[in-house]
Structure 1
Amino acid sequence: MNSKLTAMALTAVVAAGTAAATVPASAAPATAAPTRCHTADLKAGFATGEDAQPEMGQTDKQTQAYIWFTNKSARTCTLSGFAGVDMVGAQKIDGTWSLARSAKKPPKLTLAPGDTVDFSVTLLPVAKSTPQKEKFVPSKFLVTPPNEMTHFTLTWPFGGQLLRQDAATHPGTYLNPIGL
Protein backbone atom coordinates (compact mmCIF):
# COMPACT_ATOMS: atom_id res chain seq x y z
CA MET A 1 0.00 0.00 0.00
CA ASN A 2 2.86 2.26 0.74
CA SER A 3 4.22 1.86 -2.80
CA LYS A 4 0.81 2.70 -4.32
CA LEU A 5 0.70 6.01 -2.39
CA THR A 6 4.25 6.81 -3.45
CA ALA A 7 3.46 6.09 -7.10
CA MET A 8 0.32 8.26 -6.96
CA ALA A 9 2.22 11.11 -5.28
CA LEU A 10 5.01 10.86 -7.86
CA THR A 11 2.45 10.93 -10.70
CA ALA A 12 0.84 14.06 -9.21
CA VAL A 13 4.23 15.82 -8.95
CA VAL A 14 5.12 14.94 -12.55
CA ALA A 15 1.71 16.07 -13.79
CA ALA A 16 1.95 19.33 -11.85
CA GLY A 17 5.46 19.95 -13.19
CA THR A 18 4.30 19.31 -16.75
CA ALA A 19 1.31 21.61 -16.38
CA ALA A 20 3.46 24.43 -15.03
CA ALA A 21 5.92 24.04 -17.88
CA THR A 22 3.20 24.42 -20.50
CA VAL A 23 1.86 27.80 -19.27
CA PRO A 24 2.22 30.27 -22.17
CA ALA A 25 4.68 33.14 -21.73
CA SER A 26 1.86 35.69 -22.22
CA ALA A 27 0.35 34.52 -18.92
CA ALA A 28 3.53 35.46 -17.01
CA PRO A 29 3.10 38.52 -14.79
CA ALA A 30 3.99 41.76 -16.58
CA THR A 31 6.08 44.45 -14.97
CA ALA A 32 3.80 47.35 -14.04
CA ALA A 33 4.48 50.69 -15.71
CA PRO A 34 5.57 53.43 -13.32
CA THR A 35 2.77 55.53 -11.88
CA ARG A 36 2.84 59.30 -11.42
CA CYS A 37 4.97 60.95 -8.78
CA HIS A 38 3.12 62.17 -5.71
CA THR A 39 4.18 65.09 -3.53
CA ALA A 40 5.38 62.64 -0.86
CA ASP A 41 7.73 61.03 -3.44
CA LEU A 42 9.46 64.34 -4.20
CA LYS A 43 11.50 67.12 -2.74
CA ALA A 44 11.67 70.57 -4.35
CA GLY A 45 13.78 73.70 -4.35
CA PHE A 46 15.10 76.63 -6.34
CA ALA A 47 18.19 76.08 -8.51
CA THR A 48 20.64 78.52 -6.95
CA GLY A 49 23.84 77.83 -8.89
CA GLU A 50 25.41 80.93 -10.39
CA ASP A 51 24.20 80.23 -13.94
CA ALA A 52 20.68 79.36 -12.68
CA GLN A 53 20.01 82.59 -10.78
CA PRO A 54 17.58 85.03 -12.37
CA GLU A 55 18.91 88.48 -13.20
CA MET A 56 16.56 90.39 -10.92
CA GLY A 57 18.68 93.57 -11.06
CA GLN A 58 18.10 94.14 -14.78
CA THR A 59 14.76 95.51 -15.90
CA ASP A 60 14.93 95.64 -19.70
CA LYS A 61 14.15 91.96 -20.42
CA GLN A 62 12.66 88.80 -18.96
CA THR A 63 14.76 86.36 -16.95
CA GLN A 64 14.21 82.83 -15.59
CA ALA A 65 14.23 81.15 -12.21
CA TYR A 66 14.38 77.35 -12.07
CA ILE A 67 12.56 75.05 -9.66
CA TRP A 68 13.56 71.40 -9.38
CA PHE A 69 11.87 68.20 -8.25
CA THR A 70 13.94 65.20 -7.11
CA ASN A 71 12.47 61.73 -6.73
CA LYS A 72 13.32 60.87 -3.11
CA SER A 73 11.28 57.65 -3.11
CA ALA A 74 12.55 54.12 -3.70
CA ARG A 75 10.32 53.68 -6.78
CA THR A 76 10.37 54.99 -10.35
CA CYS A 77 7.56 57.44 -11.07
CA THR A 78 6.41 59.79 -13.83
CA LEU A 79 5.82 63.55 -14.09
CA SER A 80 4.08 65.34 -16.91
CA GLY A 81 2.52 68.75 -17.18
CA PHE A 82 2.80 71.98 -15.31
CA ALA A 83 3.42 72.50 -11.62
CA GLY A 84 1.00 74.79 -9.89
CA VAL A 85 2.83 77.90 -8.66
CA ASP A 86 1.36 80.59 -6.45
CA MET A 87 3.65 83.46 -5.50
CA VAL A 88 3.03 85.03 -2.11
CA GLY A 89 4.10 88.65 -1.94
CA ALA A 90 6.12 90.44 0.73
CA GLN A 91 4.09 93.67 0.60
CA LYS A 92 0.67 94.02 2.26
CA ILE A 93 -0.86 94.88 -1.14
CA ASP A 94 0.72 91.89 -2.94
CA GLY A 95 -1.46 89.00 -1.82
CA THR A 96 -1.05 85.76 -3.80
CA TRP A 97 -0.45 85.55 -7.56
CA SER A 98 -1.28 82.24 -9.31
CA LEU A 99 1.05 82.06 -12.32
CA ALA A 100 -0.29 81.51 -15.84
CA ARG A 101 1.08 78.69 -18.03
CA SER A 102 2.97 79.00 -21.28
CA ALA A 103 1.62 77.39 -24.47
CA LYS A 104 4.49 74.86 -24.58
CA LYS A 105 3.55 71.16 -24.70
CA PRO A 106 4.85 69.21 -21.68
CA PRO A 107 6.84 65.99 -22.15
CA LYS A 108 6.18 62.87 -20.06
CA LEU A 109 9.19 62.22 -17.87
CA THR A 110 10.19 59.11 -15.95
CA LEU A 111 12.17 59.67 -12.75
CA ALA A 112 14.16 56.83 -11.25
CA PRO A 113 14.99 57.13 -7.54
CA GLY A 114 17.35 60.10 -7.11
CA ASP A 115 16.61 61.65 -10.54
CA THR A 116 15.99 65.40 -10.74
CA VAL A 117 14.02 67.44 -13.28
CA ASP A 118 13.33 71.16 -13.37
CA PHE A 119 11.08 73.76 -14.93
CA SER A 120 11.50 77.46 -15.48
CA VAL A 121 9.46 80.40 -14.32
CA THR A 122 9.82 83.31 -16.76
CA LEU A 123 9.95 86.58 -14.81
CA LEU A 124 9.54 90.24 -15.78
CA PRO A 125 11.56 92.29 -13.22
CA VAL A 126 10.97 96.02 -12.69
CA ALA A 127 13.06 98.84 -11.25
CA LYS A 128 12.88 99.78 -7.57
CA SER A 129 11.61 103.18 -8.71
CA THR A 130 8.44 101.59 -10.18
CA PRO A 131 5.36 102.78 -8.24
CA GLN A 132 4.49 100.43 -5.37
CA LYS A 133 1.08 99.50 -6.81
CA GLU A 134 2.72 98.32 -10.09
CA LYS A 135 5.23 95.94 -8.55
CA PHE A 136 4.97 92.57 -6.87
CA VAL A 137 7.68 91.62 -4.38
CA PRO A 138 8.00 87.79 -4.17
CA SER A 139 8.43 86.25 -0.73
CA LYS A 140 7.34 82.61 -1.02
CA PHE A 141 6.43 80.22 -3.81
CA LEU A 142 3.78 77.54 -3.19
CA VAL A 143 4.74 74.79 -5.65
CA THR A 144 2.38 71.88 -6.34
CA PRO A 145 3.52 68.93 -8.51
CA PRO A 146 1.22 68.09 -11.47
CA ASN A 147 -2.07 66.41 -10.51
CA GLU A 148 -1.41 66.82 -6.78
CA MET A 149 -3.15 68.82 -4.05
CA THR A 150 -0.26 69.22 -1.57
CA HIS A 151 2.36 71.89 -2.18
CA PHE A 152 5.91 72.73 -1.15
CA THR A 153 6.55 76.16 0.38
CA LEU A 154 9.79 77.62 -1.01
CA THR A 155 11.28 80.88 0.20
CA TRP A 156 12.18 83.22 -2.69
CA PRO A 157 15.99 83.60 -2.44
CA PHE A 158 16.71 86.12 -5.22
CA GLY A 159 15.23 89.47 -4.13
CA GLY A 160 13.98 92.01 -6.64
CA GLN A 161 10.45 92.76 -7.74
CA LEU A 162 8.22 91.91 -10.69
CA LEU A 163 5.85 93.94 -12.81
CA ARG A 164 2.42 93.25 -11.29
CA GLN A 165 0.40 91.50 -14.01
CA ASP A 166 -1.62 89.02 -12.01
CA ALA A 167 -4.79 89.98 -13.93
CA ALA A 168 -3.17 90.18 -17.39
CA THR A 169 -4.23 87.92 -20.27
CA HIS A 170 -0.59 87.46 -21.40
CA PRO A 171 1.58 88.32 -18.38
CA GLY A 172 5.36 88.71 -18.63
CA THR A 173 5.74 86.35 -15.63
CA TYR A 174 4.55 82.78 -16.28
CA LEU A 175 5.30 79.03 -15.94
CA ASN A 176 6.85 76.61 -18.37
CA PRO A 177 6.14 72.85 -18.25
CA ILE A 178 8.27 70.46 -16.25
CA GLY A 179 11.25 69.30 -18.29
CA LEU A 180 11.38 72.37 -20.57
Structure 2
Amino acid sequence: MKSKLTALALAALAVAGTAATAAPASAAPVKAELTRCHTADLKAGFATGEDARPEMERTDKQTQAYIWFTNQSKRTCTLSGFAGVDMIGAQGTDGTWSLARSSTKPEKMTLEPGDTVDFSITLLPVAKSTPQKEKFVPATFLVTPPNETAHFTLKWPFGGQILKQDGATHPATYLNPVGR
Protein backbone atom coordinates (compact mmCIF):
# COMPACT_ATOMS: atom_id res chain seq x y z
CA MET A 1 0.00 0.00 0.00
CA LYS A 2 2.82 2.35 0.89
CA SER A 3 4.50 1.78 -2.46
CA LYS A 4 1.26 2.49 -4.39
CA LEU A 5 0.84 5.85 -2.58
CA THR A 6 4.48 6.68 -3.18
CA ALA A 7 4.15 5.78 -6.87
CA LEU A 8 0.99 7.90 -7.19
CA ALA A 9 2.65 10.86 -5.45
CA LEU A 10 5.70 10.60 -7.74
CA ALA A 11 3.48 10.36 -10.80
CA ALA A 12 1.51 13.44 -9.71
CA LEU A 13 4.74 15.39 -9.21
CA ALA A 14 6.01 14.33 -12.60
CA VAL A 15 2.77 15.44 -14.29
CA ALA A 16 2.74 18.76 -12.40
CA GLY A 17 6.37 19.37 -13.26
CA THR A 18 5.75 18.52 -16.90
CA ALA A 19 2.71 20.78 -17.06
CA ALA A 20 4.64 23.68 -15.56
CA THR A 21 7.51 23.34 -17.99
CA ALA A 22 5.26 22.65 -20.96
CA ALA A 23 3.43 26.00 -20.74
CA PRO A 24 4.44 28.18 -23.70
CA ALA A 25 6.32 31.39 -22.96
CA SER A 26 4.61 34.61 -23.99
CA ALA A 27 5.90 35.98 -27.28
CA ALA A 28 4.73 39.53 -26.50
CA PRO A 29 7.44 41.92 -25.29
CA VAL A 30 7.14 43.00 -21.68
CA LYS A 31 6.05 46.64 -21.54
CA ALA A 32 7.70 48.63 -18.77
CA GLU A 33 5.16 49.89 -16.26
CA LEU A 34 4.95 53.67 -16.07
CA THR A 35 6.18 55.23 -12.88
CA ARG A 36 4.77 58.30 -11.19
CA CYS A 37 6.05 61.77 -11.88
CA HIS A 38 8.41 63.09 -9.22
CA THR A 39 8.78 66.75 -8.28
CA ALA A 40 12.13 66.86 -10.13
CA ASP A 41 10.34 65.71 -13.33
CA LEU A 42 7.90 68.62 -13.26
CA LYS A 43 7.53 72.38 -13.59
CA ALA A 44 4.59 74.14 -11.95
CA GLY A 45 2.82 77.47 -12.13
CA PHE A 46 -0.48 79.32 -12.05
CA ALA A 47 -2.52 79.48 -15.25
CA THR A 48 -2.69 83.23 -15.88
CA GLY A 49 -4.52 83.52 -19.21
CA GLU A 50 -7.67 85.64 -19.26
CA ASP A 51 -9.95 82.59 -19.28
CA ALA A 52 -8.01 81.00 -16.39
CA ARG A 53 -7.86 84.01 -14.04
CA PRO A 54 -10.03 83.74 -10.94
CA GLU A 55 -12.63 86.48 -10.57
CA MET A 56 -11.34 87.77 -7.23
CA GLU A 57 -13.44 90.96 -7.47
CA ARG A 58 -16.68 88.90 -7.61
CA THR A 59 -17.46 88.36 -3.96
CA ASP A 60 -20.95 86.93 -4.50
CA LYS A 61 -19.83 83.51 -5.80
CA GLN A 62 -17.00 80.99 -5.86
CA THR A 63 -14.32 81.16 -8.54
CA GLN A 64 -11.43 78.94 -9.65
CA ALA A 65 -7.68 79.33 -9.92
CA TYR A 66 -5.67 76.73 -11.85
CA ILE A 67 -2.21 75.34 -11.16
CA TRP A 68 -0.44 73.35 -13.87
CA PHE A 69 2.26 70.69 -13.89
CA THR A 70 4.38 70.11 -17.00
CA ASN A 71 6.48 66.98 -17.46
CA GLN A 72 9.95 68.35 -18.19
CA SER A 73 11.65 64.94 -18.03
CA LYS A 74 12.55 62.74 -20.99
CA ARG A 75 10.29 59.91 -19.83
CA THR A 76 6.55 59.31 -19.65
CA CYS A 77 5.19 59.35 -16.11
CA THR A 78 1.86 59.43 -14.28
CA LEU A 79 0.13 61.70 -11.78
CA SER A 80 -2.84 60.57 -9.74
CA GLY A 81 -4.53 62.12 -6.76
CA PHE A 82 -4.43 65.48 -5.08
CA ALA A 83 -1.56 67.91 -4.88
CA GLY A 84 -0.79 69.25 -1.45
CA VAL A 85 -1.47 72.99 -1.31
CA ASP A 86 -0.53 75.22 1.61
CA MET A 87 -1.39 78.91 1.27
CA ILE A 88 0.77 81.35 3.18
CA GLY A 89 -0.99 84.62 3.91
CA ALA A 90 0.23 88.19 3.48
CA GLN A 91 -1.28 89.43 6.77
CA GLY A 92 0.49 88.75 10.03
CA THR A 93 -2.65 87.01 11.31
CA ASP A 94 -3.10 84.73 8.26
CA GLY A 95 -0.50 82.06 8.94
CA THR A 96 -0.56 78.97 6.72
CA TRP A 97 -3.75 77.34 5.45
CA SER A 98 -3.55 73.73 4.19
CA LEU A 99 -6.38 73.39 1.70
CA ALA A 100 -9.00 70.67 2.09
CA ARG A 101 -9.71 68.23 -0.75
CA SER A 102 -12.95 67.95 -2.66
CA SER A 103 -14.85 64.67 -2.80
CA THR A 104 -14.09 64.31 -6.52
CA LYS A 105 -12.49 60.96 -7.34
CA PRO A 106 -8.98 61.27 -8.85
CA GLU A 107 -8.03 59.68 -12.16
CA LYS A 108 -4.59 58.55 -13.29
CA MET A 109 -3.10 61.06 -15.74
CA THR A 110 -0.31 59.97 -18.11
CA LEU A 111 2.14 62.71 -19.10
CA GLU A 112 4.42 62.29 -22.10
CA PRO A 113 7.52 64.53 -22.08
CA GLY A 114 6.29 68.13 -22.51
CA ASP A 115 2.65 67.36 -21.59
CA THR A 116 0.81 69.60 -19.13
CA VAL A 117 -2.05 68.84 -16.76
CA ASP A 118 -3.71 71.17 -14.27
CA PHE A 119 -6.00 71.13 -11.28
CA SER A 120 -8.37 73.72 -9.92
CA ILE A 121 -8.65 75.41 -6.58
CA THR A 122 -12.16 76.61 -5.78
CA LEU A 123 -12.03 79.94 -3.92
CA LEU A 124 -14.58 82.12 -2.14
CA PRO A 125 -13.42 85.75 -2.48
CA VAL A 126 -14.56 88.41 -0.02
CA ALA A 127 -14.78 92.19 -0.21
CA LYS A 128 -11.92 94.41 1.01
CA SER A 129 -14.32 95.80 3.59
CA THR A 130 -14.61 92.36 5.26
CA PRO A 131 -13.12 92.47 8.78
CA GLN A 132 -9.46 91.43 8.81
CA LYS A 133 -10.05 88.41 11.07
CA GLU A 134 -12.56 86.99 8.51
CA LYS A 135 -10.34 87.24 5.45
CA PHE A 136 -7.20 85.49 4.26
CA VAL A 137 -4.92 87.40 1.87
CA PRO A 138 -2.99 84.85 -0.22
CA ALA A 139 0.69 85.61 -0.88
CA THR A 140 2.51 82.33 -1.54
CA PHE A 141 1.42 78.78 -2.36
CA LEU A 142 3.48 75.71 -1.48
CA VAL A 143 2.42 73.10 -4.06
CA THR A 144 3.46 69.47 -3.63
CA PRO A 145 2.72 67.02 -6.49
CA PRO A 146 0.69 63.93 -5.53
CA ASN A 147 2.65 61.34 -3.50
CA GLU A 148 5.72 63.59 -3.22
CA THR A 149 7.32 65.49 -0.35
CA ALA A 150 9.23 68.24 -2.21
CA HIS A 151 7.18 71.29 -3.19
CA PHE A 152 7.13 74.26 -5.56
CA THR A 153 6.86 77.78 -4.15
CA LEU A 154 4.49 79.91 -6.25
CA LYS A 155 3.67 83.59 -5.73
CA TRP A 156 -0.06 84.37 -5.85
CA PRO A 157 -0.48 86.63 -8.91
CA PHE A 158 -4.17 87.56 -8.68
CA GLY A 159 -4.68 89.79 -5.63
CA GLY A 160 -7.90 89.78 -3.65
CA GLN A 161 -8.75 88.01 -0.45
CA ILE A 162 -10.57 84.82 0.51
CA LEU A 163 -13.11 84.11 3.24
CA LYS A 164 -11.00 82.62 6.03
CA GLN A 165 -12.32 79.13 6.74
CA ASP A 166 -9.09 77.32 7.58
CA GLY A 167 -10.76 75.48 10.47
CA ALA A 168 -14.05 74.66 8.70
CA THR A 169 -15.20 71.07 8.12
CA HIS A 170 -16.50 71.90 4.62
CA PRO A 171 -14.76 75.15 3.61
CA ALA A 172 -15.83 77.04 0.48
CA THR A 173 -12.15 77.16 -0.58
CA TYR A 174 -10.78 73.72 -1.48
CA LEU A 175 -8.78 71.86 -4.12
CA ASN A 176 -9.67 69.31 -6.76
CA PRO A 177 -7.60 66.34 -7.96
CA VAL A 178 -5.04 66.63 -10.74
CA GLY A 179 -6.83 66.66 -14.08
CA ARG A 180 -9.99 68.31 -12.66
Which residues of 2 match residues 88-103 of structure 1 at below 5 A? 88-103=88-103
**Separation in 1 of the partners of 2:136 and 2:101?**
18
Question: What is the aligned-residue RMSD (CA, Å)?
Answer: 1.1
Partner of 1:26: 26
Task: Look up the match of 1:124.
Answer: 124
> C-alpha displacement at 1:27, in angstroms?
6.2
Q: CA deviation at 1:33?
A: 1.5
What residue identity is the alignment partner of 1:72? Q
Q: Which runs of 5 or more residues in structure 2 are unaligned?
A: 1-23
Report the CA distance between 1:144 and its aligned residue: 0.2
The answer to whether 1:75 aligns with 2:75 is yes
**TM-superposition CA deviations, 1:37-96 (whole Å, max 9, x none):** 000000000000000000001100000000000000000000000000000000000000
Task: Structure 1: give runs of 5+ residues left out of the alignment.
Answer: 1-23
Could you tell me how far apart the structure 2 residues matched to 1:128 and 1:80 are? Answer: 37
Matched position secondary structure for 1:52? coil
Question: 2 CA distance for matches of 1:91 and 1:176?
Answer: 26
Q: TM-score when scaled to structure 2?
A: 0.85
Equivalents in 2 of 1:152, 1:98: separation in Å? 14
Deviation at 1:29, TM superposition (A): 4.8
Q: Give aligned pairs, total.
A: 157
Could you state the TM-score of these two structures normalised by the residue count of structure 1? 0.85
Structure 1 runs (4+) deviating above 6 angstroms are none
Give the 3-state SS of the residue equivalent to 1:139 in structure 2.
Answer: strand
CA distance in 2 between counterparts of 1:25 and 1:67 reads 46
Deviation at 1:31, TM superposition (A): 2.0
Aligned residue for 2:40, secondary structure, equals helix
CA distance in 1 between counterparts of 2:168 and 2:144 reads: 22
* Correspondence for 1:46: 46
Q: Which residue of 2 aligns with 1:4?
A: none
Matches within 5 A, 1:160-171: 160-171=160-171
Letter in 2 for 1:143: V
**Which residue is 1:150 aligned to?**
150
Report the Cα distance in structure 2 between the residues aligned to 1:113 and 1:25, rounded to whole angstroms.
33
